[in-house]
Amino acid sequence: MKITRLILPFSVLLLLSLACRLTASDSPPAPDSPTQASATPTTLSLPTTVAYKTVAGIDPDLLSLDIHVPADARNAPVVMWVHGGGYAIGDKAYQMTDKISLFNGQGWILVSVNYRLSMPDKGAAQYPDHFLDVAAAVAWVREHIPTYGGDPNRIALLGHSAGADIVSNVAVNPIYLKEYGLELSALTCAAPLDTAGFDKAKAGDSEQEQWVNALGNNPNYIAETSATLLIQPNIGIPPMLGVTRGNDRRQQIETEFIAALQAAGIKATLVDATALTHNEVNSQIGAAGDTVMTEALMKFLTGCFEQ
């Protein structure tokens, strides 16, 4: 499938309305204070925030990633995190403290990724910008993470909400990583966590506005960015973990995504997160007392990295 870009009229009022109308569960809290595990002497002089690509006229922070390295990292697996926020808000620093402690405590490197957003002052991103940005971040990690003590052949790509929609597309559709000379096999595994975007035609009206705003410049975006519809066997799609929660419609979409992967012969795990809110699927990862997300995610990732 060829990536196409069709420029449509871009309404500032629509974008501002979208940001205001995002539900409370989509609205991120204040960014966590930067937290970094003790660095080894070889990584002390390395930058922990870097630009993974540059685009003229775009704030470099929107195309940057944060690298959290555990002490004595040597050939360490890498977990990449893609934030949510309805394609319009969010940042790589939000809700990271528990994730840093969790993954660094396991001896893994954590990389949190920013990408252009679909707001006038945040890159005015349209299809396929978001997907290509995250693919570029994967390519940067593959090339540079050995310098930080990471293993470029063990990369897990995780995301929540809009970040999950982006992750699912990058992990099942080879065109985005191919732009940077990579195959889907560049990802060891992926975990797109809690999105109705797997099958956009089946999602409710309340979900549609964010996709029209961010992806609607592609008149075929519903078919071309619904990951469930893009799954094919034997193209290198990595093992996946997903969750199911929310109303019946959302649970059906999320369950059918995992079922489609399994039908294509791809290892896929579904976590019952019906006890959690949308935001808690994110915030409970690594949180004290969590009984839903952390154990299931760590079991999945450990199995992927030990293959």
As a whole number of angstroms, the distance between CA 270 and CA 260 comes to 12
As a whole number of angstroms, the distance between CA 178 and CA 175 comes to 5
Asked, for residue 40, whether it belongs to a domain, the answer is no
At 189, is the secondary structure helix, strand, or coil?
A: strand
Asked, for residue 39, whether it belongs to a domain, the answer is no
Task: Give the CATH number of the domain where residue 63 resides.
Answer: 3.40.50.1820
Structural domains counted in the chain? 1
**Which residues does 197 contact at the CB level (< 8 Å), separation at least 6?**
162, 164, 165, 168, 203, 207, 211, 225, 226, 227
Q: Which helix (H) or strand (E) holds 9?
A: none
pLDDT, position 206: 86
Number of neighbours of residue 28 by Cβ within 10 angstroms: 18
pLDDT, position 307: 81
**Which residues does 28 contact at the CB level (< 8 Å), separation at least 6?**
83, 84, 85, 89, 90, 91, 94, 95
Asked, for residue 69, whether it belongs to a domain, the answer is yes
As a whole number of angstroms, the distance between CA 215 and CA 75 comes to 37
Q: Could you tell me what percent of the chain has a pLDDT over 70? A: 86
As a whole number of angstroms, the distance between CA 296 and CA 11 comes to 42
Calculate the alpha carbon distances from 12 to 24, 86, 119, 127, 220 in Å.
22, 16, 8, 17, 23
Q: What is the mean pLDDT of the chain?
A: 90
Nearest Cα to Cα of residue 214 among 86, 38, 93: 86
Asked, for residue 231, whether it belongs to a domain, the answer is yes
Asked, for residue 131, whether it belongs to a domain, the answer is yes
As a whole number of angstroms, the distance between CA 220 and CA 98 comes to 38
Regions of the chain short of the pLDDT cut 70: 1-44
As a whole number of angstroms, the distance between CA 48 and CA 40 comes to 13
pTM above 0.75, yes or no: yes
Cis peptide before 128 (omega within 30 of 0): yes
User: What's 88-100 look like in SS3?
Assistant: CCCCCCCCCHHHH
Asked, for residue 31, whether it belongs to a domain, the answer is no
Asked, for residue 158, whether it belongs to a domain, the answer is yes
As a whole number of angstroms, the distance between CA 198 and CA 265 comes to 18
Cα 229 → chain centroid: 19
- Quick: pLDDT tens for 139-198: 999 999 999 999 999 999 999 999 999 999 999 999 999 999 999 999 999 999 999 999
Asked, for residue 25, whether it belongs to a domain, the answer is no
pLDDT, position 264: 98
Domain with 215, as residue range(s), is 46-305
- Quick: pLDDT tens for 133-149: 999 999 999 999 999 99
